[in-house]
Amino acid sequence: MEKKFGVYICKGCGIGDAIDIEKLSNVAIKDMKIANCKTHDALCSPAGVQVIKDDMKDGVNTIIIAACSPRVKYEEFAFAGTITERVNIREFVAWSQAPKTEDTQSLANDYLTMGIIKTQKGDLPEPKILEDLTSTILVIGGGITGMTAALEAAKAGQKVVLVEKEAQLGGFANKLYKKIPMGAFYREPLIVDTDIDKLAKEVESNPDIKVYKSAKVAKTDGQPGLYDVTIDSNGNSTTEKIGAIVMATGWKPYDASKLDYLGYGKSKNVVTNIEFEEIAKKNNGKILRPSDGKEAKRVAFIQCAGQRNANHLPYCSSMCCATSLKQAKYVRQNPDATAMIFYIDMRTPGRLEGYYKEAQNDPGVMLTKADVTGVSEAASGNLFVEADNTLLGEKIKVEADLVVLATGMIPTTREPQEYLDNLVKEAAKGDDAKKAYLESTPKPEYILNLAYRQGPEIPSLEGAYGFADSNFICFQYETRRTGVYAAGCVRQPMNMSEAQEDAAGAAFKAIQCVDHAARGVAVHPRAWDVTFPDPMLIRCTACKRCTEECPFGAIEEDEKGIPFYKVNRCRRCGTCMGACPERIVQFKDYSVDIIGSMIKSVECPEDEFRIICLVCENDAYPALDTAGINHKQIDPSVRFVSLRCLGGMNLVWVADALSKGVDGVLLLGCKFGENYQCHFVKGSELANYRFSKIGETLNRLQLEAERVTMMQVAINEYDKLPDMINEFVEKVKEIGPNPFKEF
Amino acid sequence: MAENKTALVIGGGFSGLTAAVEIAEAGQDVVIVEKNPYLGGKVAQLNKYFWKLCPPVCGLEINFKRIKNNGQVRFYTLAEVQDIKGEEGNFDVTVKVNPRYVNDKCVACDACAQACPSYRSNEFNFGMDKTKAAYIPFNQAFPFTYVIDAKACSKDCGKACAAACKYDAIDLNMKPETINLKVGAIVMATGWDLYDATRMDILGFGKVQNVITNMMMERLSAPNGPTGGKIVRPSDGKEVKNIAFVQCAGSRDENHLPYCSYICCLASLKQSMYIREQYPDSKATIFYIDLRTPGLYEHRFLWKAKEDPNVTLTKGKVAGITEDPATKDVIVEVEDIFSGGKVKATFDMVVLAAGMVPGTKDSKIVKDVSYTPDGFVDASTAKKGIYAVGTLKSPADVVRSVQDATGVAMKSIQSLRRR
C-alpha cells in the first residue's frame, strides 16, 4: 500500500490549553514532513471525524490521531482499510502534566513523532489463512464430559471424532449405581438413574460423530485447523484430520492404599467411594459388604479421606460431600439401615444445600463434623471409627459394618506432567542423569502426544496439582496449547452437572478456534488480530531462544535448528520478538525496528532527563490511563511506549536507548509467579528473566544497574503507579545524567 | 430455520459479557441489554478476586477490548427488556432504553460534574458516598460516558451541566425510547442481588452503624471506593483493627435464603486478607457453619488464612449483634457449637457475609420458563432458544459463571445455526 499520511490533532478536553498546538503541528509538518496536518476543537465530534473522512476520499490511508487514549472513542476513530495510530496526548500529557510548559510540549512532541514513525514503519496487515483447513473437532475421552462435548459440537453442525480408551463409552459414570437428580429441585427420588447408556447410544448413533473405542491418541501433529492425529485402536492405526481438540480425559481416584491410617487395605470392609458405587451397582442397590457378603446396615462415610491434607491431596475434590449424601441414600433404601457421615466441612455449595437438607431431615442419616482420628477393627469384620471434636461430644467411637472413604480425584494429566517435569529436572543435571531417569522410570500414558518441540503434553501449572487449568478466573478455557481445550475433571475438580456445562464451553472454544483459523485471525486474548510473526530467517543464528520461550509452543525447528512458525498456534504476544537477539521477528505493525525507531526518536537534550517506560498494553497501560483520568501528575521526563505484552521487550531497545543518552528505562509488566496475571501466561516472567541479563549491557556501557528497573503492576494500581514512576525518576536523577548524552 | 442470526444477552455483568463476546467471536451478532449505565455488573464493584487476589477490572478490560475490536457486539445501557414474543430463531423483543441525558459526543472531561450543584447517593459504593447528579459510574467504567441521574437533578440550576459541556453532549430532553429487536436466541444473564441485610433483625444491619455487608467491604477496600481503599469504619472513620465476619448471613437459613450462596466463605477469607495486608497489627475473626472452599482453593486460600495467627476461624452461629453506644464498637454474641453456651466478643467493625438473590427473584421478564420459589430459573423448563446462565440457576462464583456462560454461548450458536 502506498501510504498517504494525515495527522489530526485534537484541541479539546484541555489538550489545547496544555499544549501549544501550532508547535505540535510543526512536528508533523516540519520535522516529519507530513504536510497534511489538521487540528480540530473536538476531533471525535461528527464534524471532526468528517475532516478525516473527507481526507480519506482524497486518498489518505495512514491516519495519525493525536487526541485521547485509544481506550475511548474507538468507534469514532475506526477507519477500515487504513493504518490508524492513536497518539494519547490527553491522558498521557494534557491530563497528567502542568499546562504549557516546555517539558509538557516536548513530551507531546515526542509522542506525536513516535506515533508517526510507527505508521511509517508499519504496514497494513493481511490475514494469513492456511490451506486445507479442517473444522473437525477431536474429543479425547468418552466419559460424560467427552460425550457431552461431542454431542454439543455436533448439534452446532460440527463433525466430531471421539476417542475413548475403554471398550465402551461412559467413563466413571459406568461404575455409578445412581446419580443426584440434576433438575431445579431436590425431592424424592433423591437418587436417579445415570442414563449413561442412553447418552452413549445418542453419541454412537449420531452421524456426525465418529467414535473410536479401545483407542488412544498416538500422535498429534500440526496446528489448529491442520492437525494430523494418529489414533491407535484395536491394533489399527488411523490418521484423522482435526481442527481443534477437547481434552476430556477425566480423573483417576486417589490411590487408597496410601490411606492405611483409615483402615484401607487392613480390613476388606473399608472401601473407597468408587468401590462403594460398584458394590451398590452389582447388587442392584443392596449394600453387601466385601468380607462376608452380609448386608451392611451401619455404614460410616469418612469425608476428605486423603484430601485437604498436605500428605495426600492438598485440595478438595468438590464432589465428595454430595456423593456421600447420595450414597447415604443408597444405604437408606433399606429403612432399617443407617448412614453416618463424618465431615470436616459439609461442602454442598449453591442449591446443592437443598440436597444436604434432605439428608438432614432423614433420621436414618447421622451427620457430624469430626476429625476422624482412626479406624480400627471390631468383632466379626466390623469397624470402629474414632473421632474427635464432633457435634456429639469430644471423643467418640462408633461401630460400623462398613466404612466408605470419600477419596479424591487426580486428573489424568498429573502423571504425564510429573514425569515430564522430573525429566526436565534430571536432564538439567546432565546426560547421565537423564538416561538413568528414562531407564528407571516407567513412562506414563500420554494424552495428547503432541509432536511439539516443547513436549508432548500441556505444560504443568504451578499450584494446580496436575489439573489442566488455566489459572485465569475470567477466561476458563485458556491452555498453553492453542487449539486444545480441557473440559471436566481434568481441568478442575467438579461434579457431573458442572462437567456437562464445562463440556459445552470447551467444545464451543474449539469451534471458535477452527473458525478463527479459517478467517486467519488469532484466538483469545487477541481474537481480532490478523497480524502474525514473519521472521527474516536469513539472519537467524538458530539460537533457539524463540522456540524455547514461546509460551504456547508455537515455534518448531528444522533439522538445522532454524525455527518455523505454526502460525495457528501463535497468540501474537510477540514474546519471540523480545527473545530474538538478531531482532528478526516482526509483525506488520509491530517489530523490533518499529519500537526501536520510536524509542530512538525521543530527543535527549543535554540538560534534561529522559526515561523510556515500556508498558504492557493490557494492564499497565489502562492503569496509566486511569491515573491520567484522575489527573495524577507524572514526571514529564517519562515516555510511555506500549507493548502487546512485556514479554515482547527486546534488550536491544534498552541498550540503544541508553547508548543514545536516555537516562533510565522502566519496564512495567503484569504480576508473575503462582498467581500470575499475564494474559500470555509467561510474558512478564520472561521479560523479567531477560531483564535479569541486562547487567551485561549496562556493564559494557559502564552504566549504573539502577538505571533500568522492572516493576510488576496491576490494572487497579493506578493510584500508586504515578508515585512508583516518579520515585524511579528521582532515583535516576540522583545517579545523574547519562554520560552518553554528550556523544 | 433460524431467521434471525443475532443473539440477545440480557444483562451485561461478567456472565452476560462473557456469553456476548464468546458468541461474537464465533462470528454471530450480539446485542447486550444492560440496566446499569455501565457494563461489568457486580464484578466491576469487586476490589479483588479470590483466590488470586487479582483485580477483576483486568479481565473486564480484556472483555471490553474484545467488544471494541470485534464490532459484532452492540449494547444498550440503562435498558430493560420489556417483552419477548416468538420462537427460537425468531424472537421479537421489546426493549426500553432509559435516557442517559448524555449522548455519544461525551468526551468524559468531567466539566458537567464540576458544574452540577446537586448530589446523589452513590449506589456503586452502596451509598457510602455521594456523586454529583452528573457523574461517571467509576473511573474504569465502560462505556466511559457520563450519565445524569434525573431523580437527583435539581432542575433549577439553569442547566449548569449543559452550559458547561463544550461538546454538545448533554441533552436534558432525552426521552425513554422503545426499540424492537429481532433475535434468534436469548441469554438470560441478569445475575444476582445482595440479600437485603436489614431483614435479618438480629444481625443489626441498618441499626448498628459499624455493621456492613460483604459487598460494601469490597468498595471500602477498593482504590476507587469511597475511602480510596482505606478500610475505616463508617461511624467515625477509625482504622479497622479488629474485624469479624459473620458467615451465612441469610444463607442456609429457611427464614431467609435456604440455599448456600457459594461465594461468601471465599469472599470473607479474601476480605480478612485485605485487612491483614492493610494493617499488620489487625485481627480478623470469621464465624462460620462450614467453611466452603471447594476445589483447588484449599491450599492456596484456606490454608493461607489459617497460617496467619491473626486470623481466627470459629465454627459458631451468630445469635445477635448489638452496638456499644459509647464507643460504637460492635458486640457479637455467638453460640459455641461444641460447648453449648454463648460467647460475647467486641469488634471495631463487623462484615455480614450476605447471600445472593437471583436477579429473576423480583424481575421475571422472561415468561417462557419456570422459576423455583427462591426465584432461580428452572433451566429444564426454558423455551427452546432461551438459556439462563450462571447465578440465575444456582449461586456460583466467577469461575463457574464464566464456564457456564461459555457453555451457554454454545447453546446459543446451536439455536442460531439450526437449519
Is the Cβ pair A12, B49 closer than 8 Å? no
Please tell me the distance from the alpha carbon of residue A44 to that of residue A68, in angstroms, as a whole number: 9
- A507 part of contact set with chain B, CB < 8 Å: yes
Q: Of the CATH numbers 3.40.220.10, 3.50.50.60, 3.40.109.10, 1.10.287.130, which one belongs to the domain with range A137-250+447-519? A: 3.50.50.60
Residue A688 CB neighbour total at 10 angstroms: 18
- Give the DSSP letter string of B279-321: -TT-EEEEEESS----TTHIIIIIHHHHH-TTEEEEEEEEEEE
Residue type, B348: D
pTM above 0.90, yes or no: yes
Is the Cβ pair B252, A353 closer than 8 Å? yes
- A156 part of contact set with chain B, CB < 8 Å: yes
The pLDDT, as a whole number, for residue B419 is: 61
Q: So where are chain A's domains?
A: 1-124, 137-250+447-519, 253-409, 589-743
- A352 part of contact set with chain B, CB < 8 Å: yes
A371 exposure class (CB count in 10 Å sphere: 0-12, 13-18, 19+): exposed
- B278 part of contact set with chain A, CB < 8 Å: no
The pLDDT, as a whole number, for residue B1 is: 55
User: What CA–CA distances, in Å, run from B298 to A309, A637, B303?
Assistant: 9, 46, 6
The pLDDT, as a whole number, for residue A740 is: 87
Residues 349 through 388 of chain B touching chain A, CB cutoff 8 Å: 372, 376-381
Strand partners, B326: none
CB A254 within 8 A of CB A408: yes
The pLDDT, as a whole number, for residue A700 is: 87
Element (H, E) at A220: strand A215-221
Q: Which among B58, B398, B407 has the least Cβ separation from residue A501?
A: B407
In this prediction, residue B300 has a pLDDT band, given cuts at 50, 70 and 90, of: confident
Is the Cβ pair A156, B66 closer than 8 Å? no
Phi and psi (nearest 5°) for A395?
A: -115, 125
- A374 part of contact set with chain B, CB < 8 Å: no
Closest CA to A533 of A487, A506, A581, A569: A569
Per the omega criterion (within 30 degrees of 0), is the bond before B192 cis? no
CB A602 within 8 A of CB A592: no
Mutate to test the interface with A, among B410, B411, B418 (most CBs of A within 10 A): B410
Number of A–B residue contacts, CB under 8 Å: 247
Is the Cβ pair B105, A44 closer than 8 Å? yes
pLDDT beyond 70 at A742: no
Strand partners, B283: B242
The pLDDT, as a whole number, for residue A743 is: 60
Residue B228 to chain A, least CA–CA distance (Å)? 9
Residue A729 to chain B, least CA–CA distance (Å)? 24
For the domain A1-124, what is the CATH code?
3.40.50
Q: Are strands B73-76 and B29-33 parallel, antiparallel or unpaired?
A: parallel
- B403 part of contact set with chain A, CB < 8 Å: yes
Q: Which residues of A touch B70 (CB under 8 A)?
A: 527-528
Element (H, E) at A241: strand A236-242
Q: So where are chain B's domains?
A: 6-97+176-191+359-417, 111-164, 195-356
Residue of B nearest to A718 (CA): B223
Q: What is the mean pLDDT of chain A?
A: 96
Is the Cβ pair B58, A675 closer than 8 Å? no
pLDDT beyond 90 at A701: no
Residue of B nearest to A73 (CA): B107
Tell whether the torsion through CA atoms of B339, B342, B344 and B349 is positive or negative: positive
Q: Answer yes or no: CATH 3.40.50.300 is held by domain B6-97+176-191+359-417.
A: no
pLDDT beyond 80 at A633: yes
pLDDT beyond 60 at B23: yes
- B202 part of contact set with chain A, CB < 8 Å: no
CA B242 to chain centre: 26
Looking at CATH, the fold of the domain delimited by B195-356 is given as: FAD/NAD(P)-binding domain (3.50.50)
Please tell me the distance from the alpha carbon of residue B176 to that of residue A661, in angstroms, as a whole number: 59
In this prediction, residue B156 has a pLDDT band, given cuts at 50, 70 and 90, of: confident
> Residue written as cell 543518552?
A661
pLDDT tens digits, one per residue of A217-272: 999 999 999 999 999 999 999 999 999 999 999 999 999 999 999 999 999 999 99
Residue type, B319: A
User: What CA–CA distances, in Å, run from B122 to A381, A435, B293?
Assistant: 67, 66, 32
- B224 part of contact set with chain A, CB < 8 Å: yes
Class at the top of the CATH hierarchy for domain A589-743? alpha beta
Q: Which among A12, A476, A498 has the least Cβ separation from residue B402?
A: A476
- A502 part of contact set with chain B, CB < 8 Å: yes
Please tell me the distance from the alpha carbon of residue A464 to that of residue A460, in angstroms, as a whole number: 8
User: What CA–CA distances, in Å, run from A675 to A517, A681, B49, B82, B408?
Assistant: 30, 10, 11, 42, 28
- A318 part of contact set with chain B, CB < 8 Å: yes
Give the residue-averaged pLDDT of B385-412: 97
Residue B59 to chain A, least CA–CA distance (Å)? 6
> Residue written as cell 459510574?
B137
Is the Cβ pair B300, A630 closer than 8 Å? no
Please tell me the distance from the alpha carbon of residue A429 to that of residue A419, in angstroms, as a whole number: 16
For chain A, give the percent of residues with pLDDT over 90: 95
Q: Are strands A383-390 and A371-377 parallel, antiparallel or unpaired?
A: antiparallel
Residue B350 to chain A, least CA–CA distance (Å)? 23
Q: Which residues of A touch B250 (CB under 8 A)?
A: none
- A589 part of contact set with chain B, CB < 8 Å: no
Closest CA to B194 of B289, B267, B117: B267
Among A233-247, A666-680, A691-705, the least confident range: A691-705
Mutate to test the interface with B, among A474, A497, A524, A681 (most CBs of B within 10 A): A474
Phi and psi (nearest 5°) for A327?
A: -70, -30
Domain range A253-409, CATH architecture: 3-Layer(bba) Sandwich (3.50)
Give the residue-averaged pLDDT of A600-611: 94
The pLDDT, as a whole number, for residue A185 is: 84
Please tell me the distance from the alpha carbon of residue B325 to that of residue B329, in angstroms, as a whole number: 8
Is the Cβ pair B260, A348 closer than 8 Å? yes
Residue of B nearest to A392 (CA): B338
Q: Which residues of A touch B14 (CB under 8 A)?
A: 474
Give the N- to C-terminal CA distance of chain B in Å, as an integer.
4
Contacts of A475 (CB under 8 A, 6+ apart): A524, A525, B59, B62, B402
The pLDDT, as a whole number, for residue B2 is: 64
Question: Is there a shared CATH topology between the A253-409 domain and the A589-743 domain?
Answer: no
Residue of B nearest to A349 (CA): B262
